[in-house]
């Protein structure tokens, strides 16, 4: 009996304790004992973290670098904080590399792309070395893709393949691998979706894909890279022999289903074609948008989210849906020469697999002040200033050490700046000067006995501005003519010369409202009328003041680009008795040296009639 009472009392104590702890109530509910976790009885797993509903992706874009490794002495006119504008010095590959790295730090989910003309028509520190220096500099920037532009074909497709794959095969008159004896080629992808070989395959891959993750969620962004379909009309025909350039929009649209089946959540077209606006570099109104990019945009599938463009060397950020509500693309371009980067931000919904927000800004690559002539453009604290990437700076210095003495060598003097600005007749002072130089180089017996010379305006790449003492350096004239073309003299009849001039109104992507007018030497004058019927626009052709006859033969100088039908001047192919000559830059140097101090010529060789 005593033992039973003891057990009863203990039970009462336990019950009271449970009641005090909330383990029992007046209804006599009872919480069972839970044994501690063991191997046979593991703890319940922690709940899985929530998958994010969206992922932000950053795209960093540039275009038309053209081998501008050194700061190009250009400024961007930008809004000032106190109103008005301020010039901001911009460009330089070492600063560009730092600017890219700075943007990358803001979002690890990023991709860097170029919209073509990374190389070609480059300053001497790149062109002298076949643009190997530029490829190596961009390698250090750690970009993802470059959609090849027309200037990538300047030295032919075989040399372009070397730019991607590396090696030291000699494909041009210049020696490869003069600095880096084992040129590695590009460590980023070349894309060329609409550049098709004879076997039906593309010269480079058509597309690239990049995957981004965040907290267990994944999204994919696809890139379609293309150059303009008019490339064969604006490069040396031999350089693109056997290649065809397909319609840009048709090519992109055909690839989209394939990319979607591979899981692409966003589609980005990176294209070397562009437009122009009438507003500033980052004005989102995109006022006055025009150009050859518009017909492409209007044909593109609405599955495209962003179009990164180039070619026109203009900068813009456009919500194209304001121009065409049926095509709500984000359209961007970063100008030229590495002076700007486009910072594009996409928000992708991880459930609907669609882009729900997109925005972009053009960022000025401000690095160092510069002086050009009597103008000094200082750094400004109103916009970020980027430091030098030391790896890229050291690489450029290595190439400059070899090129430097040649760059600084004085070749002669000018009494005034020779500009490439076109007059009402589409002539330019510098274009006429180059034509005169090429005639002088090919006029002597044994050199071609030329009577007329023509220069294409697209081959004049920079103004020729003398220093304060009038001096002009080799580096300057090389910047004017960086293509390494040779001079060619052909026999052509008066009728053929007239026919080639008629082609001015149907050259490249130009029309009768903006003809690509050949620049003539001083010996030759003529008139044209845009209102006259096609094929009858040229008149009053005269050689040294004497009217020219259709059946008479004349000796005509052109560069090797024109000689093979470049810029769609195919009638030059009809010339006979071709004789090769000096390099174009050597002819310009000799002419300036022989005539120093040289007074730039007038622009009175072409007359525009009603």
Question: Phi/psi of residue 196, each to 5°?
Answer: -115, 135
Residues 389 and 433 occupy one common structural domain: no
pLDDT at 472: 97
Domain final residue, candidates 399, 423, 442: 399
Q: Is residue 421 in some structural domain?
A: yes
Contacts of 71 by beta carbon, 8 Å cutoff, 6+ apart: 89, 90, 91, 92, 95, 367, 368, 370
Q: Is residue 13 in some structural domain?
A: no
| Average pLDDT taken over every residue of the chain | 91
Distance CA 419, CA 416 (A): 9
Q: What is the pTM of this model?
A: 0.82
DSSP bridge partners of 524: 543
Residues 265 and 290 occupy one common structural domain: yes
Name the pLDDT band for 37 (thresholds 50, 70, 90). low
Residues 196 and 308 occupy one common structural domain: yes
Instruction: Answer yes or no: is pLDDT of 511 > 70.
Output: no
Residues 458 and 477 occupy one common structural domain: yes
Residues 172 and 321 occupy one common structural domain: yes
DSSP bridge partners of 367: none
Residues 264 and 362 occupy one common structural domain: yes
Residues 379 and 516 occupy one common structural domain: no
Distance CA 230, CA 227 (A): 8
Tally: H helices and E strands in the chain:
13, 29
The proportion of the chain whose per-residue pLDDT surpasses 70, expressed as a percent, equals: 91
What 50-54 contacts at long range (C-beta under 8 Å, 24+ apart), as own/partner pairs, is: 50/215, 51/215, 51/216, 51/217, 51/350, 52/214, 52/215, 52/217, 52/350, 53/349, 53/350, 53/351, 54/347, 54/348, 54/349, 54/350, 54/356
Domain final residue, candidates 399, 423, 443: 399
Q: Is residue 263 in some structural domain?
A: yes
pLDDT at 51: 73
Residues 327 and 473 occupy one common structural domain: no
Residues 389 and 475 occupy one common structural domain: no
Q: Is residue 29 in some structural domain?
A: no
Range of the domain at 209: 54-399
Q: Is residue 433 in some structural domain?
A: yes
Distance, C-alpha 301 to centroid of its chain: 23
Q: Is residue 255 in some structural domain?
A: yes
Q: Residue 500 to residues 420, 493, 535: CA-CA distances in angstroms? A: 22, 11, 10
pLDDT digits (tens, 9 = 90+) for 127-140: 999 999 999 999 99
Q: Do 473 and 520 contact (CB within 8 A), yes or no?
A: no
Q: Is residue 8 in some structural domain?
A: no
Distance CA 544, CA 334 (A): 46
Q: Is residue 3 in some structural domain?
A: no
Instruction: Answer yes or no: is pLDDT of 43 > 60.
Output: yes
Residues 468 and 557 occupy one common structural domain: yes
Q: Do 233 and 245 contact (CB within 8 A), yes or no?
A: no
CA–CA–CA angle 306, 326, 284 (5° rounding): 50
Name the pLDDT band for 36 (thresholds 50, 70, 90). low
DSSP bridge partners of 190: 146
The domain total for the chain is: 2
The CATH number of whichever domain residue 536 belongs to comes to 3.90.780.10
CA–CA–CA angle 113, 115, 116 (5° rounding): 120
Residues 325 and 425 occupy one common structural domain: no
Residues 99 and 124 occupy one common structural domain: yes
The proportion of the chain whose per-residue pLDDT surpasses 90, expressed as a percent, equals: 83
The CATH number of whichever domain residue 296 belongs to comes to 3.60.21.10
pLDDT digits (tens, 9 = 90+) for 55-109: 999 999 999 999 999 999 999 999 999 999 999 999 999 999 999 999 999 999 9
pLDDT digits (tens, 9 = 90+) for 431-462: 999 999 999 999 999 899 999 999 999 999 99
Domain final residue, candidates 399, 425, 442: 399
Rounded mean pLDDT, 505-532: 83
Least confident of 30-34, 153-157, 191-195: 30-34
Residue whose pair of structure tokens reads 């490069």 in the numeric block: 235
């Amino acid at each position: 009996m005593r033992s039973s009472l003891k057990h009863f009392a203990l039970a009462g104590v336990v019950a009271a304790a449970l009641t005090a702890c909330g383990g029992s109530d007046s209804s006599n509910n009872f919480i069972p004992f839970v044994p501690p976790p063991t191997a046979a009885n593991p703890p319940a797993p922690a709940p899985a973290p929530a998958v994010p509903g969206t992922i932000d992706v950053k795209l960093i874009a540039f275009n038309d670098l053209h081998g501008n490794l050194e700061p190009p002495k250009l400024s961007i006119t930008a809004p000032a904080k106190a109103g008005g504008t301020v010039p901001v010095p911009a460009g330089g590959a070492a600063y560009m590399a730092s600017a890219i790295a700075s943007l990358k730090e803001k979002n690890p989910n990023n991709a860097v792309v170029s919209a073509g003309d990374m190389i070609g028509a480059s300053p001497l520190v790149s062109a002298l070395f076949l643009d190997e220096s530029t490829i190596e500099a961009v390698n250090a920037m750690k970009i993802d893709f470059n959609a090849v532009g027309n200037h990538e074909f300047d030295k032919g497709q075989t040399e372009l393949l070397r730019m991607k794959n590396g090696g030291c095969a000699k494909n041009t008159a210049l020696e490869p691998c003069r600095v880096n004896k084992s040129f590695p080629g590009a460590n980023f992808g070349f894309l060329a979706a609409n550049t098709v070989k004879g076997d039906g395959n593309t010269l480079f891959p058509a597309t690239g894909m990049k995957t981004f993750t965040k907290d267990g969620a994944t999204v994919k962004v696809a890139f379609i890279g293309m150059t303009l379909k008019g490339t064969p009309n604006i490069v040396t025909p031999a350089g693109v022999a056997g290649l065809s350039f397909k319609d840009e929009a048709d090519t992109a649209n055909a690839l989209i289903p394939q990319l979607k089946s591979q899981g692409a959540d966003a589609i980005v077209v990176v294209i070397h074609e562009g437009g122009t606006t009438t507003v500033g570099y980052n004005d989102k109104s995109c006022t006055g948008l025009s150009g050859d990019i518009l017909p492409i945009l209007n044909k593109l599938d609405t599955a495209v989210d962003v179009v990164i463009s180039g070619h026109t060397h203009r900068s813009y950020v456009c919500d194209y849906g304001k121009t065409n509500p049926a095509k709500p693309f984000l359209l961007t371009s970063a100008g030229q020469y590495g002076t700007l980067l486009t910072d594009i931000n996409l928000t992708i919904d991880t459930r609907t697999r669609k882009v729900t927000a997109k925005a972009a800004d053009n960022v000025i690559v401000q690095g160092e002040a510069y002086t050009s002539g009597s103008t000094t453009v200082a750094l400004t604290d109103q916009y970020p200033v980027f430091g030098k990437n030391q790896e890229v700076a050291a690489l450029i210095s290595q190439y400059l050490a070899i090129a430097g003495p040649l760059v600084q060598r004085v070749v002669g003097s000018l009494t005034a700046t020779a500009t490439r600005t076109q007059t009402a007749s589409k002539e330019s002072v510098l274009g006429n000067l180059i034509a005169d130089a090429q005639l002088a180089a090919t006029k002597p017996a044994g050199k071609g006995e030329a009577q007329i010379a023509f220069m294409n305006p697209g081959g004049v790449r920079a103004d020729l501005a003398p220093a304060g003492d009038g001096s002009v350096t080799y580096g300057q004239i090389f910047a004017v003519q960086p293509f390494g073309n040779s001079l060619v003299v052909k026999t052509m009849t008066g009728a053929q010369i007239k026919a080639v001039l008629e082609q001015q109104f149907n050259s490249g992507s130009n029309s009768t409202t903006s003809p690509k007018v050949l620049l003539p030497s001083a010996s030759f004058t003529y008139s044209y009328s845009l209102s006259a019927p096609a094929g009858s626009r040229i008149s009053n052709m005269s050689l040294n003041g004497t009217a020219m006859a259709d059946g008479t033969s004349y000796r005509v100088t052109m560069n090797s680009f024109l000689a093979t039908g470049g810029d769609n001047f195919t009638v030059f192919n009809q010339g006979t008795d071709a004789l090769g000559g000096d390099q174009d830059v050597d002819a310009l140097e000799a002419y300036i040296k022989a005539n120093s101090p040289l007074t730039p010529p007038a622009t009175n060789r072409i007359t525009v009639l009603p």
